[in-house]
């Protein structure tokens, strides 16, 4: 019998259409899987079994009549507990957020999923306010890696990544302000896309400003394209949202990579020390791109590490996030979050604007770079998943999570689309990710290239089932 938890969203929809199985069967299987994995990996802050089954029954009836209400009718999805979901508390990983509500509004991406008939099975874990690159919080504890529960799932969308990797829903909504979709997707061995800023509308606006993106976390690039076709549409509540996409991302998948100009930067010009197992897996995947017809050149983008500017913007955003809290509420915060809040509160407006200047120059440099290259390819991270419950690998000497994520946060500053594709494992069986970056508004190229890699006969890691 088919294990419905191992199917992609595309496969589920095809099965519903053919009558091979139903939304109720798929939802029940996903809920059972979620309940089974939860004690070990802690991917969820809340499962909504009865509501999900009720949604699935309505979807099943629509399919029975041959009248699905949208492109994801009956497909189980999860939502990171940063994004508003009607009828459910959104606590953002914080004991300082009251669960009382009212919770009467969907975030734009959640609203689009609902309109297309998606079945909401639960809210996934996040560090407090999504502030760091691993997932643990005073509210919900530590989220663990599906491949080794002693390791971190990454963050801040760690619960989403673990859920997809273990079959607890093929689609997940995550958020990414410095790598928070790509980091956990890489550590957990799934696909994650940070679309061009504004492609997926966001409301309420993030205190982290235009660093914050919403993106799909899925089993493969085809599912992400389908999901982006649904959630990547305008919403009047987001003044910075882009207009309608020029075409379907799903339809653009088939173009392949032949003739694309690909710059491969293994270390950002020697700025990043990459573990040999990571470097080797990424290089083999890059060689496969060349075999598929891409013109691959080893070339580095022209920028130095913008971490100081990123910290100014990120820490200032964190200070703004908690500005409304009383002293007693602040004592409830993650100690690391309290530290960066203190730093952020000390920056001046001139400091902030100087960081914006760095950001604008970085964007200019990357714009020029993409005049010569269609894509930039790097490792997603220089390391694989490390010990759960800590912000940085022990003995690394890093002070903050940005020390081990130098490939991800620059492209939040530039607002470019960037995705991670699983391309192998290290000696401990932990996934390695390859990052694909394109010029702003060229999400189609990122998805197309990732889809080509998934279709190639390589050692791509697939999401592990818990069966």
Question: For 48-97, how does the pLDDT look when each residue is reduced to its tens digit (9 = 90+)?
Answer: 999 999 999 999 999 999 999 999 999 999 999 999 999 999 999 999 99
- Domain of 274, CATH number, reads 3.90.1300.10
Report H helices in 42-157: 49-65, 108-115
pLDDT at 208 over 70: yes
Q: Is it the case that residue 465 has pLDDT exceeding 80?
A: no
CB 31 within 8 A of CB 143: no
Confidence of residue 466 (pLDDT cuts 50, 70, 90): very low
Query: Within 13 Å, how many C-alpha atoms sit on residue 72's CB side?
Result: 32
Assign 462 a pLDDT band (cuts: 50, 70, 90). Answer: very low
Residue 225 is assigned to a structural domain of this protein = yes
Tell me, what's the pLDDT at 459?
40
Residue 84 DSSP SS3: coil
The secondary element (H helix, E strand) that includes residue 175 is: strand 171-176
Whether 156 is catalytic is yes
Averaged over 409-426, what is the pLDDT?
98
Burial 349-367 (b: 16+ CB within 10 A, else e): eebbeebbebbeebbeebe
The answer to whether the peptide bond before residue 204 is cis (omega within 30 degrees of 0) is yes
Instruction: Single out the catalytic residue among 22, 109, 156, 157.
Output: 156
Q: Does the residue 81 lie in any domain? A: yes
Q: Quote the Cα angle for 208-44-101, to 5°.
A: 60
Among candidate residues 58, 95, 82, the one with its CA nearest the CA of residue 131: 82
Give the domain range for residue 87.
4-234+253-455
At residue 457 the predicted structure's pLDDT band, cuts being 50, 70 and 90, is low
Query: Alpha-carbon distance 201 to 244, whole Å?
Result: 11
Q: Is residue 244 part of a domain?
A: no
Strands (DSSP E) found in 231-383: 261-264, 295-298, 375-379
The DSSP bridge pattern shows strands 418-425 and 191-194 to be: antiparallel
User: Collapsing DSSP states into helix, strand and coil, what is residue 432?
Assistant: strand
Cα–Cα distance measured from residue 438 to residue 71, given in angstroms and rounded to the nearest whole number: 27
Q: What share of the chain has pLDDT > 70, as a percent?
A: 97
**Per residue in 382-416, pLDDT tens?**
999 999 999 999 999 999 999 999 999 999 999 99
Q: Indicate whether 203 belongs to any domain.
A: yes
Catalytic residue (one of 22, 94, 140, 180) = 180
232, 187 contact by CB (below 8 A): no
Q: What's the mean pLDDT in 291-319? A: 98
pLDDT of residue 101: 86
Within a domain: 288: yes
Would you tell me how many other CB atoms lie within 10 Å of the CB of residue 389? 14
Per the domain annotation, does 245 fall within a domain?
A: no
Q: Does residue 22 carry a catalytic annotation?
A: no
Please report whether residue 241 resides in a domain. Answer: no
DSSP state of 85: B
User: Please, what is the average pLDDT of the chain?
Assistant: 96
Examine the pLDDT at 325 and tell me if it is beyond 50.
Answer: yes
Rounded CA gap, 341 and 322, in Å? Answer: 8
pLDDT (tens digit, 9 = 90+) per residue, 240-289?
999 999 999 999 999 999 999 999 999 999 999 999 999 999 999 999 99
* CA separation for the pair 337, 130 (Å, rounded): 10
Kindly report the pTM of this predicted structure. Answer: 0.97
State how many domains the chain has: 1
78 in Cβ contact with 92 (< 8 Å): no
- In eight-state DSSP terms, residue 125 is -
Q: Is 465 left (phi over 0), alpha (psi -120 to 50) or beta?
A: beta
Give yes or no for residue 458 having a pLDDT over 70.
no
Residue 348: active-site member: no
* CA-atom Rg of the chain in angstroms: 20
Q: Where are the beta strands (DSSP E) in 291-397?
A: 295-298, 375-379
CA distances from 13 to 116, 197, 224, 306, 436 (A): 12, 28, 14, 43, 28
**Is 462 contained in some domain?**
no
User: Is omega for the bond preceding 102 within 30 degrees of 0, making it cis?
Assistant: yes
């Amino acid at each position: 019998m088919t294990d419905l938890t191992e199917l992609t969203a595309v496969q589920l929809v095809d099965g519903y259409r053919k009558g091979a199985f139903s939304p109720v069967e798929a939802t029940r299987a996903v809920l059972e899987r979620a309940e089974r994995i939860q004690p070990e990996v802690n991917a969820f802050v809340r499962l909504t079994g009865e509501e999900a089954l009720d949604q699935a029954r309505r979807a099943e009836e629509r399919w029975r009549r041959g009248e699905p209400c949208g492109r994801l009718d009956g497909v189980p999805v999860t939502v990171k507990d940063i994004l508003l979901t009607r009828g459910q508390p959104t606590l953002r990983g914080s004991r300082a957020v009251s669960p009382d509500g009212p919770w009467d509004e969907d975030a734009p991406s959640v609203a689009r999923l609902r309109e297309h008939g998606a079945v909401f099975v639960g809210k996934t874990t996040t560090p407090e306010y999504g502030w760091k690159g691993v997932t643990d919080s005073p509210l919900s504890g530590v989220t663990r890696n599906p491949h080794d529960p002693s390791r971190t799932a990454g963050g801040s969308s760690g619960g989403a990544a673990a859920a997809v990797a273990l079959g607890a829903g093929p689609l997940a909504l995550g958020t990414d302000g410095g790598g928070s979709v790509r980091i956990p997707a890489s550590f957990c061995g799934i696909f994650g896309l940070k679309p061009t800023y504004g492609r997926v509308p966001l409301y309420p606006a993030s205190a982290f400003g235009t660093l914050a993106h919403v993106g799909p976390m899925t089993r493969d690039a085809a599912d992400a394209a389908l999901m982006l076709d649904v959630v990547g549409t305008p919403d009047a509540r987001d003044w910075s949202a882009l207009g309608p996409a020029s075409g379907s991302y799903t339809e653009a998948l088939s173009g392949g990579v032949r003739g694309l100009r690909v710059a491969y930067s293994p270390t950002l010009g020697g700025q990043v020390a990459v573990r040999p197992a990571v470097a080797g897996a990424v290089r083999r995947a890059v060689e496969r791109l060349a075999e598929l017809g891409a013109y691959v050149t080893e070339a580095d983008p022209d920028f130095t590490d913008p971490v100081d500017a990123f910290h100014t913007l990120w820490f200032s955003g964190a200070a703004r996030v908690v500005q409304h809290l009383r002293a007693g509420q602040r004592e409830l915060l993650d100690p690391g979050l309290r530290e960066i809040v203190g730093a952020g509160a000390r920056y001046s407006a001139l400091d902030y604007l100087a960081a914006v200047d760095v950001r604008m120059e970085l964007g200019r440099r990357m714009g020029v770079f993409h005049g010569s290259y269609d894509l930039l390819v790097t490792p997603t991270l220089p390391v694989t998943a490390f010990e759960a419950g800590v912000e940085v690998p022990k003995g690394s000497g890093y002070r903050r999570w940005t020390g081990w994520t130098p490939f991800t946060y620059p492209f939040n500053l530039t607002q470019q689309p960037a995705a991670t594709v699983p391309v192998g494992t290290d000696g401990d069986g932990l996934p390695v990710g390859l990052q694909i970056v394109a010029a702003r508004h060229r999400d189609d190229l990122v998805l197309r290239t990732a889809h080509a890699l998934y279709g190639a006969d390589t050692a791509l890691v697939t999401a592990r089932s818990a069966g």
